[in-house]
Amino acid sequence: MTELFLQSIRKLVEFTPEETEQFLSCLKRVCIPKKSFHLKAGEICTSVAFINSGMLRAYYTVNGEDITGEFIFEGNWISDYPSFLTKTPGKLYVEALEDSELFVLDYNKLQWLYTQSQNSERFGRLIAENLYIHLNNRIFSFLTEKPEDRYKNLIKRRPNVAERIPQHYIASYLGVRPESLSRIRKRMAAGDIS
Amino acid sequence: MTELFLQSIRKLVEFTPEETEQFLSCLKRVCIPKKSFHLKAGEICTSVAFINSGMLRAYYTVNGEDITGEFIFEGNWISDYPSFLTKTPGKLYVEALEDSELFVLDYNKLQWLYTQSQNSERFGRLIAENLYIHLNNRIFSFLTEKPEDRYKNLIKRRPNVAERIPQHYIASYLGVRPESLSRIRKRMAAGDIS
């Protein structure tokens, strides 16, 4: 049941069996049915959560418009990390697009884990570094790439997005209107965009 | 000579005297004269650097346009962190706007420090977390605030920006043309914007 979780951890750090046990003992299993919310803007996010199965969409609402920040699939972590770290109200909505099973780790438990071993600190550092790299890449993609290039890169690098995410959410992720994404897809199908 | 550096470290972690000594022994003092570059886009960034005195501007060039990412003053760290972490060519130019003295910490030395103590890992985690929070706030400011609000908040929160940075760089940081910033400043001086 925790195999995916352990695989994900092993990519970052080599926990001892005791450290692994300690980490696992801090997790709480939570099920989020499709279309339900895991996080809501305005509330303080008090946990990070590993997605053991399912998929969620994280989005912001800016001037009444819905901006998709990220799609998060099984095997990854989800949090409103700035809210979690600063204990201030979050800006993120996180909604399950599929029935999802999460392993939730509360703020106090994570802070306690950090005090328990150098490996736990390393784990936290690498998670934060990866988040920073990802956010930076996402900004750069917006600053420097055309929407059609963003779309091509997205479906190339993350085929599960094309397979499992409705088109209007992909449009929102790319920062274009659904009708623009339709045009891009038609031009790609016609071979106008390679 | 290292008092500012030690103060900055103490805000994040409580190093033992031995850990502090270890950290200090890894630093290399580098002077960057005004208008010289500390980092250039296209090159792999191999260090993080603490600014002991002076001030630098980090910027990107996108479609021939210069976008100011950040102004970094004494007491803070500067790096092209995604390039540093992934060992890929950087996107950032970092130019000294004042004569600057840096304490430079090379990649290998930092990785070695991380292996030496839990406190070093903690230091790295907190730095990465703070960078993430800062980048996130910056994006949100762009998504949700008008240029005049971004300007007001900037000079309120960081008076040294208004005092030490030329107006055209402030405009580039706010994502507006210099003439738009002039208009905002005039309206503020006339009391049209409180």
pLDDT tens digits for range B26-49: 999 999 999 999 999 999 999 999
Segment B81-103 shows an average pLDDT of 97
> For chain A, first and last CA: distance in Å?
41
Complex prediction ipTM = 0.93
Positive or negative CA dihedral for A172, A178, A180, A181?
A: positive
Residues B157-169 pLDDT 10s: 999 998 999 999 9
- pLDDT above 90 (res B142): no
Distance CA(B88)–CA(B142), nearest Å, equals: 27
Q: Which residue is closest to A82 within chain B, CA to CA? A: B133
- pLDDT above 70 (res A96): yes
User: In the prediction, which pLDDT does A189 show?
Assistant: 87
| Cα-based angle B176, B63, B66 (whole degrees, multiple of 5) | 45
Min CA distance, B163 vs chain A (Å)? 29
- A132 and B62 in contact by Cβ < 8 A? no
Chain B residues in contact with A121 by the CB 8 A cut-off are 118, 121-122, 125
User: In the prediction, which pLDDT does B76 show?
Assistant: 96
User: In the prediction, which pLDDT does A194 show?
Assistant: 63
Query: What mean pLDDT value characterizes chain B?
Result: 94
Query: Residue B194: which pLDDT band, with cuts at 50, 70 and 90?
Result: low
- A107-116 and A17-25 are packed helices; what angle lies between their axes, rounded to 10 degrees? 160
Segment B46-55 shows an average pLDDT of 97
Distance CA(B133)–CA(A87), nearest Å, equals: 12
**How far, in Å, are A40, A81, A95, B45 from residue A52 at the CA level?**
20, 19, 15, 36
| Beta-bridge mates of residue B168 | none
User: In the prediction, which pLDDT does A147 show?
Assistant: 92
| 3-state class (DSSP) for residue A70 | strand
Enumerate residues 6+ apart whose C-beta is below 8 A from A17.
none
A contact set with B (CB within 8 A): 60, 62-63, 67, 81-82, 85-86, 91, 114, 117-118, 121-122, 124-125, 128-129, 131-133, 135-137, 139-140, 143-144
